[in-house]
Structure 1
Amino acid sequence: MKLKDQFRFIQQNMKKNKMRVSMTILASAMSVAFLIVLASVAFGLHDTVIKDTIESPEVTQIEVAGKDIGNGNAESLSNEDIEQIEALEGVNAVTRSKQVRQETRYITEGYEINTQTIQSHFPSMKNAGMDLGEGAFPEEKDEVAVGYHFALNLLKDDVDPEEAEYGEDGHLIPEQRFSGEIIGQTFDLEFKRMQDGEEITETVPVTVTGVIEKPGREWAWDQNVYITDEKLAELEAITGTSKAMLTDPADAAEDTGYDSATVYADDLETVKSVMTSLEEEGYFVYSMVSEMSQINTLFNIAKAGLIFIGTIAILIASIGIFNTMTMAVTERAPDIGIMKAIGASPKVIKRIFLLESTYIGLIGAVIGIAVSYVISIGVNLALPLILESAFDEELPQGLQFSSIPFSLVLIAVAICLIVTMLSGMRPAKRATEIDVLKAMRREV
């Protein structure tokens, strides 16, 4: 009996019991759609998180906290360390900074602000491809760049800081803050030094040439002032301490290392190799790539769990296939007897019933896949609108609740076919055990 004839025989018999077969196919389709839609939630959210992470400029950054000197202790990075890191393969640039070890005050015509002052290496920031929100990077000793929130919190000097009012955005209200052009504005940088146990106030002039871009994360806040290496050296010369520390020069410890350094890899692919090289050299490092690895692990566990739950639905649907095939064997006993009488082997008979159960499962899987795509599109369109109206809060752009990759479709089809084939095994075997004479007399 040719394979083509076997398929024709299967189709003819399925047409005889359209209602029962249709309900069995429907059960298979529903179970496959349930599996795919359920797992697609994990795939969709995973894709959103990974997309946001990969598109972030921070993905190629590696934070270097210091160098291991044994017993879990770290020392600040020196210029030699920076040169060693810059020489590593795959490193594009290394930005570094030192923080002035006292709070500084910036005063201009009728306005003032207390904030942190940080020495930044602007040439390396340029090499890293960093851009300013406006203006230009400082090049001269007395030039500075300010954080995005600096001007928004530059308070009028006739307003008591304790009476300052802030809007919902966290910034000073317009009536109390600076409203002029910050680029080109000259400030007196006020700081202190210790002399004979007394604090002496000193001032040096600085001019704003640029404003740092707004931080990518909404909760991030940047009202710092970024000065040049030469300006920090001037402050150190006045205070007589490293990083302008507010202490007596005779008691001050020497600390010329960098407080922080950020390595910029050439691209995402080289981040891991650069991190490995840094760790081998004894540096303490952190990268968003490490976070991505943990995120991937968590989402993969979630995907596996949801696929397992969906598989239970397919197993339940397989009961219907088993019942359909058992009934088919009983009803087709005379046909089976005729096939045996004309020489059909048990192997061929078994194959016919296995093909039929697989055929039912395959049709159900195809319908289920089509339905799951429709549901997925509907979920992505409707659910954000429902959540936004229910909670009156705008969801992040690009958020995807459901995603159906081709791999998920293959997994669902494979599970469905395996389960349906197993469901048809017992009825198929029973068909091969039918006695020819009894079958011809309809005594099965």
Structure 2
Amino acid sequence: MKFKDILKLGLKNLKKRKGRTFLTSLAIAIGTMLVVTMVGLGTTGEKYILDQVKEHSNIKKIDVSTTKYVSLEEMEEVEDYNKFFKENFKKIDKNSIEKFKNINNVENVTASVTSPFSSIKIDNKSYNNKKFTRALGYDLDYSIFTKSDIDAIKVKDKNFKPLIAGRSIKKSDKNVIMISETILKQMGIKDYKNIIGKNLTMTLNKSDTGMKLSPLSEDLRIIGVTNSKIDVYSGKLLIPLDIASKFRGYSKFEKNSFKTKGFDLVSVYAKNTDDVSSISKKIKSLDYSYNSSEDFAKQISHIFSTIKTILASLGVIVLIVAALGIINTMIMSIYERIKSIGIMRSIGASRKNIKELFIVESSMLGLFGGVMGLIFSLINSKIIEIALNMFLKSKSTGSDPVTKIAFYLPSWLTLGSLIFAIVLAILSGLYPSSKASKLDVIECLNSK
């Protein structure tokens, strides 16, 4: 018998038992649907989070911490973080920064001191710092706005400029401040150009531990208004380094805070994304902890790989149960068609032909089930996509546009699931096909 004839005969046999064929294929379809939907859900979540990381961070940026290098595994075992950071503190001074700057393929370095404040006041309008916003005092030997940060934002906004009014801080400036449009909006100030040159009073009246202090105030002259889109990189209030050090020292009861603690926010920028890994290793060799979007992305991918494996396992279990259904269906089919098997053998069909016939039938069950499963998965993906976007919209505050989720079904997943369903069906048909091919012709013909 030719393969074409076996294929036609296999289809004819399955059509004769439409109900059984449909139910057996449906079991395969449910398993396939679970694999595709569950893994697709995990892949969608992973892609969405990684896209958000890329959108809201600079992938060339490496943040260096003021702690000795500690692995993630060691960090997970830490119980008292205050004690840990105190025992593992490692100062970052100008000498350290120069070492970072001299690492191969480093494009830029920024170094700043975070300064707490309780409130700021412009004319009769004030902003009470209830969100723990910190002012940043930059060392002007290094950049404030790096080309890398600006380019990262320009991917989404080609016309982006870091300053929307005024100018940046110069080394010769004393008692000046650059303020973000974010804070000005919250203060009800919309005329940004008009506030350039105005006086701003920054006040601190409590320590880092929350203890009330006699107010420390500083009068600063507004020289620039920064674009809110760069807040994530440079902060909402930018002040000279000496002012930031003074406020930080006051909150920590350390008069010479900068001398003893150094910088507390240092970022190293790679020339290319491919250089991030090698620069990170060099920072590690200098015994400093660090984090980057690349490391975060790897952690996210690792977590979601585990999640996807667990989710896929649920579908695979259902597929295995469905495979047992195929074996049962094929064995039942043997006993129902025992006489026709004998007739086929008597007119020239070989044992191999009989075996091929049952394998073809089982593979078709896998194909029908796999295709149905993919159709169900596409329907599910649209329903889940709509539900997720409705949920995100309901949780949105309205201040930022909601990034829509598009359910992601990679081609390797859909094609791989279909092939897996077919292969599993073929394997399920091996035992019944072997059993059918070994039947005695005379016994088959004499059967009732």
Shorter-chain TM-score bucket reads 0.7 to 0.9
Larger radius of gyration between Structure 1 and Structure 2:
1
TM-score normalised by the chain length of structure 1: 0.75
Structure 2 Cα separation of the partners of residues 17 and 201 of structure 1:
87
Alignment partner for residue 138 of structure 2, among 120, 135, 140? Answer: 120
Q: Which residue of 2 aligns with 1:273?
A: 278
Shift of residue 62, structure 1, vs aligned partner? 1.3
Q: Cα distance, 1:216 vs. partner?
A: 6.4
Q: 1:141 aligns with which of 170, 173, 180?
A: 173
* Contact 1:147/1:212, CA 8 A, preserved across alignment: yes
- Residue of structure 1 equivalent to 2:317: 312
Report deviation, 1:7. Answer: 1.4
- CA contact 2:138–2:238 (8 Å) conserved in 1: no
Residue 145 of structure 1 aligns to which amino acid in structure 2?
Answer: M
Distance 1:150 1:331, change over 3 A: closer
Given that 1:77 and 1:257 are in contact with CA atoms closer than 8 Å, whether structure 2 keeps it comes out as yes
In 1: Cα distance, 2:257 partner to 2:371 partner: 76
Asked if the contact 1:242–1:254 (Cα under 8 Å) also holds between the matched residues in 2, the reply is no
SS at match of 2:370: helix
1:335 maps to which residue? 340
Distance 1:254 1:114, change over 3 A: farther
Contact kept in structure 2, 1:379 and 1:401, CA below 8 Å: no
Distance 2:15 2:52 in 1: 51
Q: Tell me by how many angstroms 1:138 deviates.
A: 1.9
Change (3 A) 1:98 1:31: closer
Taking structure 1 as reference, are residues 427 and 106 closer, same or farther at Cα in structure 2, changes over 3 Å only?
closer
Structure 1 residues 69 and 369, CA, compared in 2 at 3 Å: closer, same or farther? closer
Matches within 5 A, 1:182-201: 182-187=195-200
The residue number in structure 2 matching 1:36 is 36
Identify which of 58, 79, 104 aligns with 2:94.
Answer: 79
Query: Identical aligned pairs, as a percentage?
Result: 22
Match for residue 438 of structure 2 among 423, 429, 433: 433
- The structure-2 alpha-carbon separation of the partners of 1:40 and 1:422, relative to structure 1 and needing over 3 Å to count, comes to same
For 2:52 and 2:163, how far apart are their aligned partners in 1?
Answer: 21
3-state SS of the aligned residue for 1:404? Answer: coil
- Residue 112 (structure 1) shift: 6.4
Q: Given that residues 61 and 288 in structure 1 are in contact (C-alpha distance below 8 angstroms), is that contact kept between their aligned partners in structure 2?
A: yes
C-alpha spacing 1:188/1:6, structure 2 compared with 1 (3 Å)? closer
Q: 2:113 aligns with which of 98, 114, 138?
A: 98
- 1:357 Cα deviation after fit: 0.2
Deviates more, 1:28-37 or 1:349-358: 28-37
Matched residue, 2:409: 404
Aligned partner of residue 283 in structure 1, secondary structure: coil
Shift of 1:367: 2.2
Residue identity matched to 1:226 = I
96, 100, 103: which one aligns with 1:88: 103
- 2:32–2:373: 8 Å Cα contact kept in structure 1? yes
TM-score for the superposition, normalised by structure 2 = 0.75
Q: 8 Å contact 2:90–2:288 — kept in the other structure?
A: no
Instruction: Please give the root-mean-square deviation of Cα atoms over the aligned residues, in Å.
Output: 4.1
Task: Structure 2: state its 5+ residue gaps.
Answer: 71-85, 151-160, 206-213
Give the match for residue 301 of structure 1.
Answer: 306
Name structure 1 gaps, 5 residues minimum. 153-170, 193-198
Amino acid aligned to 2:43: F
For residue 156 of structure 2, what is the aligned residue in structure 1? none
Corresponding position of 2:293: 288
Number of residue pairs aligned between Structure 1 and Structure 2: 404
